[in-house]
Structure 1
Amino acid sequence: AAEVAGQSLTDFILDSACQAAEQTLLDRRLYMVSESQYQALLDMLERPAQANDRLRDLFARKPPWDVE
């Protein structure tokens, strides 16, 4: 598989391990945080949204799957 991917065996194993670790963390449903971390998250969520030109431009574009 490493050869097919054009990688050394070491690079392939490291990439595979990183992908598996990332997927494992993304699949978690419950994250344990301290009270201060939780409060910081709540504070961020309570702040009003700020104008973001890049995000505005993104939403102004037609999505690639919306083909007519």
Structure 2
Amino acid sequence: MAARATRTEKIDIRLTAAAKQALREAADASHKTVSDFVLESALLKADEVLAERRVIKLGATDWEAFQAALDAPPKPTARLARLVSQKTILD
């Protein structure tokens, strides 16, 4: 962690003695405190999980179908016709 912001929040977790020892050993091997090691590891995993929700990976065929759907005009519906026929604040 390059820039260290003031930490004001806290998370308490329960773990086994073996898990605590493993974290302590891994932190020592990384030349970090257990808190820094756990926080950095958790944030890396959080970024990974959130990236999976933000990135859509499509093959060429699916990508073309996706682009075609985006480029296609909206299907006419009664609600859409009503919406475009109403005056707006700009009229």
Q: Common fold, TM-score beyond 0.5?
A: no
Larger Rg: 2
Between 1 and 2, higher relative CO (CA 8 Å, sep ≥ 6) is seen in 2
TM-score by length of 2: 0.30
TM-score by length of 1: 0.40
